[in-house]
A = this chain, B = another copy of it.
Amino acid sequence: MYTHWSVYFAMTRDSKQTKNRILDAANQLFYGQGIRAVSVDAIADKAGITKRTLYYHFKSKDDLITAYLQSRDQPNLAAFARWFERCDGSIEDKTQAIFSGVARASRRPDWQGCGFLRTAAELANMPGHPAMKVGAAHKLRFEAWLAQHYMAAGMSDADALARHIVLLMDGAFSTMLIHRDSAYIEAAGVAARALVGHKERNNTDQPELE
The chain A residues found within 8 Å of chain B, CB to CB, are 32-34, 36-37, 112-113, 116-118, 120-122, 124-125, 127, 132, 135-136, 139-140, 160, 163-164, 166-175, 177-180, 184, 187-188, 190-191, 194-195, 198, 201-202, 208, 210
Asked whether A175 and B179 contact (CB < 8 A) given A36-B34, A121-B34, A208-B208, the answer is no
In the complex, the chain B residue whose C-beta lies closest to that of A208 is: B208
Q: Which of B36, B118, B135, B202 contacts A124 (CB 8 A)?
A: B118
A34-B36, A171-B171 known; 11 other A-B pairs, CB under 8 Å?
A: A36-B36, A116-B178, A121-B122, A124-B177, A127-B180, A135-B178, A139-B178, A139-B179, A164-B188, A170-B170, A174-B174
Q: List 26 A-B contacts (CB under 8 A).
A: A34-B121, A34-B122, A36-B37, A113-B121, A117-B177, A118-B121, A120-B177, A120-B178, A124-B177, A136-B179, A139-B178, A139-B179, A160-B187, A160-B190, A164-B190, A164-B191, A167-B168, A167-B175, A167-B187, A167-B188, A167-B191, A168-B168, A171-B172, A173-B174, A195-B195, A198-B198
